[in-house]
Structure formats: C-alpha cells, structure tokens
Amino acid sequence: MRILKSESLRLNGKRPLVYFAGRVVLVVGLLFYSCGDAIDDATKIDVPVSDVAVELDDILVEDGKKSLNRKSDDDEDGLNYFEANQTIYLDSIGSLADVMKYQSQITDVTVEEASICIVAADDENGTLIKDFVLKAVGVADLSIPQYNLGENFSEEMLPFATSFMLKLLLTKSVEIKVSGETDVSSGKALKVKITLGEMTLKVDLSK
C-alpha cells in the first residue's frame, strides 16, 4: 500500500508546516486585536464630578402692565413679569476646576440628578411663578407652567440639564434666557439656581 507523504507525517505524530504557520498567524491576530481593545479601553475613562451649581442673579421683576404679551392692563391674575439674558462661563464654576484639564477630551456627560430653585432676592411676599421658561440657547428649553417660589423642582430636568452641561463643557459658555410671570413685586429681583448632581464625564485620553 502506498502511503502519501502528508499521511506519513500524521502517522508519525507530526503535522504539516502549513498547519503550524496557520496557528501562529491565528495567535498573533488574536493578540493584536486583544491589545487593540486593551489600548482603546485604557484611553477612555469616566471622571466623576461633584455637585455643580449654576446661578442666575439679578433677574429684575417688572410691572405687569408694561408687558407686551398681555391683552389688557387689567388682566385677572395681576402678575408682573420678568425677562433676562445671561451667559454662563465654564471657568466661573468652581466645582469644575479639577476636571478642566480634560476639557478638550470630553466626549459625553451623564447627569443623574438635577433640580431648579427660584427665590426672590429680598424679603418678599411673592409666592409663585407662572409660565416660566428657561432656554439654554441652541441647546434645550425647560418650561414650568406653575412653580411655587423656594421649592426644588426636578421634573423633566434631566434632559435639559444633560444637554446644557455638555454644551457648556464643549464650548465653554452658554447663553441663558429666562422669562415668566410672578406675584413678586415689580422692582424686586429673582435668583435662579440650577443644581446638577451625580455627574460623570466621558473622557477620551487619545484625543
């Protein structure tokens, strides 16, 4: 019986050279891709951030009779109104100082908690705000049909807070517009405080 060379190799407990070459290529390939994944994982990190507070001050309350949005001077609710534009700058938020070194490498942000609180700057008998609108220009809007002064409002805050904070981190400044009506006396001022908690920055160190 004639025995082929390849069969002879198998009978002698040996394998063809091509087989071993294939195994080597396979192992090297697996190592290459494993190392690639490890490097990729090493360059992408999560950076936790302590609570961030954004404050808007000196929002002047004006006489409701001057509002152009009113149908007449004797509206039943008798509320005054306010409108203000302010710009929030990234470097003005002290709690972000420790992560500013990653500013150019941030790819995303997650926010787990967010709330807003509005108060009158001076002792004041006002109790409510109606049709409150907070706009982060070019990013997101937050609307509150009715709000009790001094309360922490958190409903529907997360989408706004996340979009606002990502924009602020990427561009270093965001213009904010606020408007609404209130029973706070005209000539008084309002303060708006936005608090964001349990934040995590997604950072790509390879950038």
User: How many whole angstroms separate alpha carbon 46 and alpha carbon 52?
Assistant: 17
Q: What is the pLDDT of residue 41?
A: 66
- Please give the model's pTM, rounded to 2 decimal places: 0.74
CA distances to 49, 131, 180 from 52, in Å: 8, 26, 24
CB-based contact 128:80 (threshold 8 Å): no
Q: Write down the mean pLDDT value for the chain.
A: 81
Whether the per-residue pLDDT at 124 is higher than 80: the answer is: no
148 or 74: whose pLDDT is higher?
148
Residue whose entry in the numeric block shows the structure tokens 């705000």? 129
Q: What is the pLDDT of residue 94?
A: 85
Structural domain boundaries of the chain?
5-44, 50-204
86 or 6: whose pLDDT is higher?
86
Whether the per-residue pLDDT at 118 is higher than 90: the answer is: yes
CA distances to 27, 107, 154, 162 from 169, in Å: 43, 9, 22, 11
User: How many whole angstroms separate alpha carbon 115 and alpha carbon 142?
Assistant: 11
Whether the per-residue pLDDT at 188 is higher than 60: the answer is: yes
Whether the per-residue pLDDT at 33 is higher than 80: the answer is: no
In this structure, whether the domain defined by 50-204 belongs to CATH 2.60.120 is answered with yes
Q: b vs e for 128-149, b when ≥16 Cβ sit within 10 Å of the residue's Cβ?
A: bbebbebbbeebbebebeebeb
For 9-17, what is the mean pLDDT?
Answer: 47
